[in-house]
Amino acid sequence: MGLKAYLYDIWEAVATTAKGMRITARYGVDPRETITLQYPEERWEPSERFRGFLYNDIKRCTSCTMCVRVCPVDCISLEAVRGADKKMVLASYDIDIGRCMYCGLCVEVCPPKSLKHTSGYEKASVNRGDLILHFVHEDASEIKSRVAKQVAEAAAKAEAEKAAKAAEEPQASGPAPDDGRKELPAGQPASPPAAAANPENQGAAEKKPAEGAKEDLGKPEEPPKKGEVETP
């Protein structure tokens, strides 16, 4: 290497260093310029639409399973049972943030809008199980047994009310009213309604054919008139 090349390298090093120190001096002196925060004591505030860890408000959740079906990586799991009021009761709701890709599809399809992204992004752990967020802290088996007991009690109460209502109906209606009719002995036909309503009409109807027959017997036959030929 010649002397000229050696001096050129020294000049290039000095110029490059001066250029870098000029930028550093500007950021260090001007208070308007952004500087590095002292992490982790100081942190940047995430933007409003930042997609951090998922959070589900289980008081508003309806257990519709829309988030479970739309998740492309199956990081959400839930269990639910139907309660005595015909509504679904959450037994467990877990989100594995170690598998979540923060796509936001589950937040978009949630009908009650109980699922949302938070500003959280720090959860370092050496155990994968620590990356599973549990939103129902009670044991799932205890919730299922409690709900099953409530359903059985509600069914028993409904049956008791139904039986009490059925027992009150005959008492409310009372005995059948007496219409004055008497039961006929076995083998005797019942009289027609018209005859039962007016016995005198029935007697008159029975007498008319008999009287007409007597009149026909007592009346003599008239001889044939002249000019009329008697036919045998």
Q: Whole-angstrom Cα distance, residue 91 to residue 147?
A: 10
Q: CB–CB of 88/61 below 8 Å?
A: no
pLDDT tens digits, the chain, 232 residues: what are they?
688 888 889 999 999 999 888 877 777 777 666 667 788 888 888 888 899 999 999 999 999 999 999 999 999 999 999 998 888 999 999 999 999 999 999 999 999 999 999 999 888 889 989 999 999 999 999 999 999 999 999 999 989 988 888 888 766 555 555 555 555 555 555 555 444 445 455 554 454 554 544 445 455 555 555 444 444 4
**Angstrom distances, CA of residue 170 to CA of 27, 66, 166, 174:** 95, 51, 8, 6
pTM: 0.56
Q: CB–CB of 78/22 below 8 Å?
A: no
Q: CB–CB of 133/97 below 8 Å?
A: yes
64-70: Cβ within 8 A, 24+ apart: 64/111, 66/106, 66/109, 66/110, 66/111, 67/106, 67/109, 67/110, 67/115, 70/105, 70/106, 70/109
114 contacts: CB under 8 Å, gap ≥ 6 = 56, 57, 58, 59, 60, 61, 62
Q: Whole-angstrom Cα distance, residue 34 to residue 75?
A: 38
Q: Whole-angstrom Cα distance, residue 90 to residue 87?
A: 10
- All structural domains of the chain: 54-144 (3.30.70.3270)
Tokens found for residue 57: 């408000």
